[in-house]
Amino acid sequence: MKKLAMGIDIGGTNTAFGLVDEEGTIFCESAISTERYKKFDDYEAYVKTLCESMKALISSVSFDFELIGIGIGAPNANYHKGTIETPANLWKFRDDEPNPDESRRMFYFVDDVKKYFPGVEVLITNDANAAAIGEGVFGNAKGMDDYVVITLGTGLGSGIVSNGEMIYGHDGFAGEYGHIMVDSRATGRECGCGRRGCLEAYASATGIKRTAFELMAKMNCDSELRDTPYSKFEAVMLSMAADKGDAIAKEAFRYTGEVLGKALADLVATTSPKAIILFGGLAKAGKHIFEPTKWYMEENMLATFKNKVDLLPSGIEGENAAILGSSALIWQKQQKK
């Protein structure tokens, strides 16, 4: 019988899910709102709606198949424990709640989904790890035992694979490469984590936007970028401006590539991957981001590793990359059986 795995991508706005076969074909997909259930008390209703919607999707398939498992990618997810822990944008306390105890926001997501799907394997990991497993099973890291996926979205996430295994670390939270410190001075950029100078404050869609605004202050040249306020500014505008030769946009990419390239040279010295895959919104800027990143990575590389590591685009990226990545959690385990 045909085997299919369910992949679920939990985002702050929507939760998308779909049924995927071992070739990476998505047979059908659907989505529910995550935002509608953003309060702490909405969590149970969210799980119920999600599971019932998945059951409806499963019923809609016109042929017989075996559901071999459910893979989930979510922010702050812990593979070892099957939990989502104190996520920044999900199931939050009400603003007027007195002294909310953040430690209560520990959601046993895998167990809760299993209640609706008894006997089905359910696995969860964070979005960057899911992307990394997706690249390994379906994308540009197929057949590699040692590689890294860097997701360049609102923040910078990383999934590090060594000896053919995802590095989850002792507590299940490894791979927070966005929070290595690249500027430890008091003037380092504030990071969402509460510290300063983290890599993701520079190398991410948000990071390059911050750089562009610094450059508008620093440089005197004309630029169409000066017509958009910070609150409306999106990183994709920098790609479009760079295509047209805008000096601020070009310098913003160069600087971002410098910070990211240096950080990747350090990561290579640490884990020596065969390839590093850049994934996510900012990676779509193509040569604008790849060229300076590659140049600074090689420039700062220990001689042993020079010209050995490929810097690659995603091989699964598209609207459904996150569903593919989450389903790959299940397919990867299947391949190892």
**Contact set with a copy of itself (CB under 8 A):** 144-147, 158, 160, 162-163, 165, 167-177, 179-181, 184, 193-195, 262, 265-267, 269-274, 300, 302-305, 308-309
Which residue's CB is nearer to a copy of itself, number 59 or number 304?
Answer: 304
Q: How far is the CB of 104 from a copy of itself (least distance, A)?
A: 17
Which residue's CB is nearer to a copy of itself, number 46 or number 296?
Answer: 296
3-state SS class at 30: strand
Which residue's CB is nearer to a copy of itself, number 48 or number 274?
Answer: 274
> In the chain, which residue ranges form alpha helices assigned H by DSSP?
43-59, 109-116, 127-137, 205-218, 235-243, 247-271, 287-299, 321-336
Tokens of 151: 């997701």
Q: How far is the CB of 175 from a copy of itself (least distance, A)?
A: 7
Which residue's CB is nearer to a copy of itself, number 35 or number 190?
Answer: 190
Q: How far is the CB of 168 from a copy of itself (least distance, A)?
A: 7
- CA diameter of the chain: 65
Which residue's CB is nearer to a copy of itself, number 180 or number 240?
Answer: 180
Measured distance CA(251)–CA(264) in Å, rounded: 19
Q: Please check whether residue 186 is in contact with residue 140, taking contact to mean a CB–CB distance below 8 angstroms.
A: no
Cβ partners under 8 Å of residue 332, min gap 6: 133, 136, 137
Q: How far is the CB of 322 from a copy of itself (least distance, A)?
A: 22
Q: Please check whether residue 48 is in contact with residue 100, taking contact to mean a CB–CB distance below 8 angstroms.
A: no
Q: How far is the CB of 297 from a copy of itself (least distance, A)?
A: 12
